[in-house]
Amino acid sequence: MPESATPCEHAVREALAQHSDLGAAAHDLPADGDLYAAGLTSLASVRVMLALEERLSVEIPEERIGRALFSSIAHLTGVLAELTGDRDQAGGRDQAVGAGR
Amino acid sequence: MTAASVERTVLTERQALDAAVQVAKAAAEHAAATDRDAVFPAVGVAALREHGLLSAAVPKEYGGHGLDPRTLTRIGARLAGGCAATAMIWAMHQLQVACLARGAASSPEIATALADIAERQLLIASITSEVGVGGDMRRSVAAVQPADDGTVRLTKKATTVSYGEHADGFLVTARSGPDAAPTDQVAVLVMAEHAELERTGDWNPLGMRGTCSPPFTMSATVPAGMVVPEPFGETATRCMVPLSHLLWSGVWTGVAADAVRRAVAYSKIRMRAQLKAGRTQDDPRLGRAYADLRVLQDTVARFADDYAVWDAAQDADTTAMTVRANALKTGVSVDAVRVVEQALEICGMAGYSESGPYSVARHLRDLYSARLMIANGRLELANSELLLLTGDLIQE
């Protein structure tokens, strides 16, 4: 895994290694490589998704769940980064409102 | 109660289904309180009016949307995912307007009344039940009494009138005249302003509490033109029986689908926790529940399509359709409960709770009404005899 990996990408590779048949190879896959071609099954992808939701405390909206979500590490990372970003921003806004009172 | 007349456009199938999702959302917010207090789901029904969905089954020529049986069934299922009482009231109302549409073809008075019902999005209830007929819709004690002034009078003691206190009109069955046989029935459209209703009992049931269906005695004097010309037996066989069993089955399946949705949500939470703890457990129950649900959904959809074809062919065999409709109703009414039971087992105590996102308690209570709405035993008995007439039904 490149040293510049973001926390989201790190989490994705960890989850793939732990919950799919890719195993440790998940750490070395190219970020834009086809995960299904590498051996990811749709059954394993469910566990990967749920593990990531748990670890990052996000819920992937139903309309984004599908085969395309797991097309590559980069794509999955991008979706999760967006969701965690939204969440952190929302949290930030809440705090700001709280502080304003 | 009656919405102001507004310019309405005919909804496409897609628009009607989208509207049903919106109504279901609005109704869902009040579903728990509707159930707890056994009150009419006013918000859900207001949303139905606002979206024009009360005229879903009214043919376009009378100002309705003229939606096909399959789409009507899907609307009912979607509504049921938000509030089963709202969905069941919608379904029962559609039956009344569909039966009136048959009458409208041969009666200008009924046609005018139906167009008014569609335009003003009026809510029509049925008064088919009666004290003294043992639950047989095809027998009446009450009789239409003609008067000299072009009106008819009618008094009926009904055992249950769903949303009776909230309806703008009623489709009432009665003997065609004072000397008519119990099975020589007509249907009469009685608008609320022509009726006096006296509530004669309580309403505090296990489920479907929002349908508000206590016993009533109704007395009415209406213009003679409000008597549907077609004998009620024909209306029942051609429309009320098959369509009621279809639309109800759609609603029950929608309730079961919502329970399975909750089981999916619960299973996701549980698996996340298991993955975090590093040990997952194999659990095939969700897959089983879904398989049972899917069979129901496909059965209902198939019946809807077949009913549409049959309905278009006026010389089609009525016995075959009656037997199939009865079988659909008795099957789905019991199997939908079994689906929810599986959801209950998956969700455990969270499912047994009367509140919370994984509760299926209301679903279960609501669905126990299904086997009683025209008792399954009565329909199974009828089928056991009708099947002796028509062995062809066994195939396909």
Polymer length of chain B: 396
- Is residue A83 predicted with pLDDT exceeding 80? yes
* pLDDT at B248 (0 to 100): 98
Q: Which two tokens stand for residue B189?
A: 């459209």
Residues in chain B with CB shorter than 8 Å from the CB of A44 are: none
**CB contact (8 A) between residue A53 and residue B272:** yes
- Is residue B183 predicted with pLDDT exceeding 70? yes
Instruction: Give the chain B residue nearest A62 (alpha carbons).
Output: B265
Spell out which chain B residues touch chain A, with contact meaning CB-CB distance below 8 angstroms.
268, 271-273, 275-276, 280
Span A15-36, average pLDDT: 93
Span A3-8, average pLDDT: 78
* pLDDT at B314 (0 to 100): 72
User: Can you tell me the distance from the alpha carbon of B298 to that of B225, in angstroms, rounded to the nearest whole number?
Assistant: 41
User: Can you tell me the distance from the alpha carbon of B3 to that of B342, in angstroms, rounded to the nearest whole number?
Assistant: 41
- How many contacts (CB atoms, under 8 Å) link A and B? 19
- Is residue B75 predicted with pLDDT exceeding 50? yes
Residues in chain B with CB shorter than 8 Å from the CB of A19 are: 275
**CB contact (8 A) between residue A51 and residue B273:** no
**CB contact (8 A) between residue B272 and residue A19:** no
**CB contact (8 A) between residue B271 and residue A50:** yes
- Is residue B174 predicted with pLDDT exceeding 60? yes
The number of folded domains in chain A is: 1
Of all residues in chain B, the percent with pLDDT exceeding 90 is 90
Query: CA B67, B72, B78, B81: dihedral to nearest 10 degrees?
Result: 150
* pLDDT at B280 (0 to 100): 85
Residues in chain A with CB shorter than 8 Å from the CB of B280 are: 47
Element (H, E) at B127: strand B124-127
Q: Is A51 on the interface with B (CB under 8 A)?
A: yes
Question: Which residue would you say has higher pLDDT here, B149 or A95?
Answer: B149
Q: Is A52 on the interface with B (CB under 8 A)?
A: no
Element (H, E) at A12: helix A7-19
* Per-residue burial over B204-242, b = 16 or more CB atoms within 10 Å of its CB, e = otherwise: ebebbbbbbbbbbebebebeebbbbebebeebbbbbbbb
* pLDDT at B8 (0 to 100): 66
Q: Is A19 on the interface with B (CB under 8 A)?
A: yes
Q: Is B151 helix (H, G, I), strand (E, B) or coil?
A: strand
Q: Is the ipTM of this complex over 0.90?
A: no
Asked whether residue A12 is domain-assigned, the answer is no
- Is residue A89 predicted with pLDDT exceeding 60? yes
Span B117-146, average pLDDT: 96
Residues in chain B with CB shorter than 8 Å from the CB of A54 are: 272-273, 275-276
Asked whether residue A9 is domain-assigned, the answer is no
User: Can you tell me the distance from the alpha carbon of B320 to that of B306, in angstroms, rounded to the nearest whole number?
Assistant: 11
Instruction: Give the chain A residue nearest B280 (alpha carbons).
Output: A47
Residues in chain B with CB shorter than 8 Å from the CB of A53 are: 268, 272
Q: Which two tokens stand for residue B3?
A: 């919405």
Angstroms from A61 CA to nearest CA on chain B:
12
- CATH architecture assignment, domain B232-394: Up-down Bundle (1.20)
- CATH architecture assignment, domain B126-226: Beta Barrel (2.40)
* pLDDT at B4 (0 to 100): 46
Asked whether residue A8 is domain-assigned, the answer is no
Q: Is A54 on the interface with B (CB under 8 A)?
A: yes
Asked whether residue A53 is domain-assigned, the answer is yes
Q: What is the DSSP string of B180-219?
A: --TT-EEEEEEEGGGEEEEE-S----SS-GGG----EEEE
Both ends of chain B: CA-CA distance in Å? 47
Q: Is A53 on the interface with B (CB under 8 A)?
A: yes
Q: What is the pLDDT of residues A39-72, one digit of tens each?
A: 999 889 999 999 999 999 999 998 888 888 999 9
Asked whether residue A36 is domain-assigned, the answer is yes
Whole-angstrom Cα Rg for chain A: 15
Span B171-188, average pLDDT: 97
Span B97-116, average pLDDT: 97
Angstroms from A51 CA to nearest CA on chain B:
6
**If you average pLDDT over every residue of chain B, what do you get?**
95
Question: Which residue would you say has higher pLDDT here, B26 or B9?
Answer: B26
CATH number at residue A46: 1.10.1200.10
**CB contact (8 A) between residue B276 and residue A55:** yes
DSSP 8-state symbol, A57? T
A 60-99 residues with CB < 8 A to B:
none
Q: How confident is the model at residue A95 (pLDDT cuts 50, 70, 90)?
A: very low
**CB contact (8 A) between residue A51 and residue B275:** yes
- In 3-state terms chain B splits into helix, strand, coil percentages (rounded to 5) of 60, 10, 30
- Is residue B319 predicted with pLDDT exceeding 50? yes
Instruction: Give the chain B residue nearest A49 (alpha carbons).
Output: B272
- Is residue B236 predicted with pLDDT exceeding 60? yes
- Is residue B61 predicted with pLDDT exceeding 90? yes
* pLDDT at B67 (0 to 100): 98
**CB contact (8 A) between residue B272 and residue A51:** yes
In chain B, where the domains are located: 13-123, 126-226, 232-394
Polymer length of chain A: 101
Lowest-pLDDT choice from A46-50, A84-88, B354-358: A84-88
Which of B269, B275, B281, B286 would you mutate first to test chain A, the one with the most A CBs within 10 A?
Answer: B275
Its domain, for residue A27, covers 19-100
Asked whether residue A30 is domain-assigned, the answer is yes
Residues in chain B with CB shorter than 8 Å from the CB of A50 are: 268, 271-272, 275
Which of A14, A50, A60 would you mutate first to test chain B, the one with the most B CBs within 10 A?
Answer: A50
Q: How confident is the model at residue B3 (pLDDT cuts 50, 70, 90)?
A: very low
**Phi and psi at residue B219, to the nearest 5°:** -125, 135
Residues in chain A with CB shorter than 8 Å from the CB of B275 are: 19, 47, 50-51, 54
User: Can you tell me the distance from the alpha carbon of B305 to that of B242, in angstroms, rounded to the nearest whole number?
Assistant: 12
Instruction: Give the chain B residue nearest A57 (alpha carbons).
Output: B272
Q: What is the pLDDT of residues B369-389, one digit of tens each?
A: 999 999 999 999 999 999 988
* pLDDT at A96 (0 to 100): 40
* pLDDT at B282 (0 to 100): 86
Task: Specify the CATH number for B13-123; select among 3.90.1260.10, 1.10.1060.10, 3.90.180.10, 1.10.540.10.
Answer: 1.10.540.10
Instruction: Give the chain B residue nearest A50 (alpha carbons).
Output: B272
Angstroms from A36 CA to nearest CA on chain B:
22
**CB contact (8 A) between residue B268 and residue A50:** yes
User: Can you tell me the distance from the alpha carbon of B235 to that of B244, in angstroms, rounded to the nearest whole number?
Assistant: 12
